[in-house]
Amino acid sequence: MSADRDRDGTGRPRNARPRDRLGRPLDRRPETAGPDAPPPDPPPLEPAAALETAQRLLDDGRPFEAHEVLEAVWKSTPDQPGLWRGLAQLAVGVTHRDRGNLRGATALLRRGAETLDGVDGGAAGVDVDELRRWAGVAAADPARAPAMPPLRPQAADDRS
């Protein structure tokens, strides 16, 4: 193993390269990465703020960034890890679909639905049952899948 590889404290690889809105790596040099490059690892938000931010990013067609927000909560909080992991998997499934990687989309949407199987139906105000149902339909045919339902039903009512 090369000493110059970017690794976390457990030795797992990290990729600190900036990413485009669909999570594709951009040039490592900040001056050529582009203005839309998100930060590599957003700080974890409080759960309610994370859901709001992730929903806004999903609405803006930025599912990879939504995945990063949800993943940060999953990795930083002991509360409901299955919820946060499942939501992050659904967002990255949408990312794969948007990239045209239907095989990857199918795998991640199925995995997200399976992860959400063990989560209480109303966890953190998220309609887990509806998202799980949607993921099953979306995994069967990602190219023709209906739009992902809102993470929290009330979030759809609150937006104008």
pLDDT at site 156: 45
pLDDT at site 77: 86
CA 129, chain centre distance (Å): 18
Backbone angles phi, psi at 153, to 5 degrees: -55, -40
Domain spans of the chain, in order of start? 7-38, 47-158
pLDDT at site 118: 85
Confidence category of residue 78, pLDDT binned at 50, 70, 90:
confident
Q: What is the DSSP string of the chain?
A: --TTS-B-TTS-B---S-B-TT--B--SSHHHH-TTPPPSSPPPPPHHHHHHHHHHHHHTT-HHHHHHHHHHHHHH-SS-HHHHHHHHHHHHHHHHHHHT-HHHHHHHHHHHHHHHTTS-TTGGG--HHHHHHHHHHHHH-GGGPPPPPPSSHHHHHH--
Task: State pTM to two decimals.
Answer: 0.74
Q: Which residues in 29-64 are b (16+ Cβ under 10 Å) and which e?
A: eeeebeeebbeeeeebbebeebbbbbbebbeeebbb
- Domain 47-158 is classified in which CATH homologous superfamily? TTHA0068-like (1.10.3450.10)
**Beta-carbon neighbour count of residue 152 at 10 Å?**
18
